[in-house]
């Protein structure tokens, strides 16, 4: 599936990629919690940055869930 997506994605494409509602993508973008840029009035997401963000988020959650971690 990822191979079918462009290098720079729209909010709709990111929502599909992450399997979350589009409204959640916009909320994450507005809060600065997901890597993105505004192009005019539209949000754009670099696929490699989203992949890195997912990896980093997963590692952070794993550290927090381990007893004695931190």
Mean pLDDT of the 29-37 span: 97
23 pLDDT higher than 90: yes
Q: What is the DSSP string of 15-47?
A: HHHHTS-HHHHHHHHHTT-S--EEETTEEEEEH
Token digits for 50?
A: 């989203």
Write down the pLDDT at residue 15.
Answer: 98
Mean pLDDT of the 29-45 span: 96
67 pLDDT higher than 70: no
Q: Which residues contact 48 (CB under 8 A, 6 or more apart)?
A: 7
CA dihedral 47, 50, 52, 53 (to 10 degrees): 170
The percentage of residues in the chain with a pLDDT greater than 70, rounded to a whole number, is 87
Confidence of residue 41 (pLDDT cuts 50, 70, 90): very high
């Amino acid at each position: 599936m990822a191979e079918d997506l462009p290098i720079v994605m729209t909010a709709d494409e990111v929502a599909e990629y992450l399997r979350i509602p589009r409204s959640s993508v916009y909320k994450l973008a507005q809060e600065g919690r997901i890597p993105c840029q505004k192009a005019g009035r539209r949000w754009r997401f670099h696929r490699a940055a989203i992949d890195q963000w997912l990896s980093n988020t997963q590692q952070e959650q794993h550290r927090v869930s381990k007893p004695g971690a931190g």
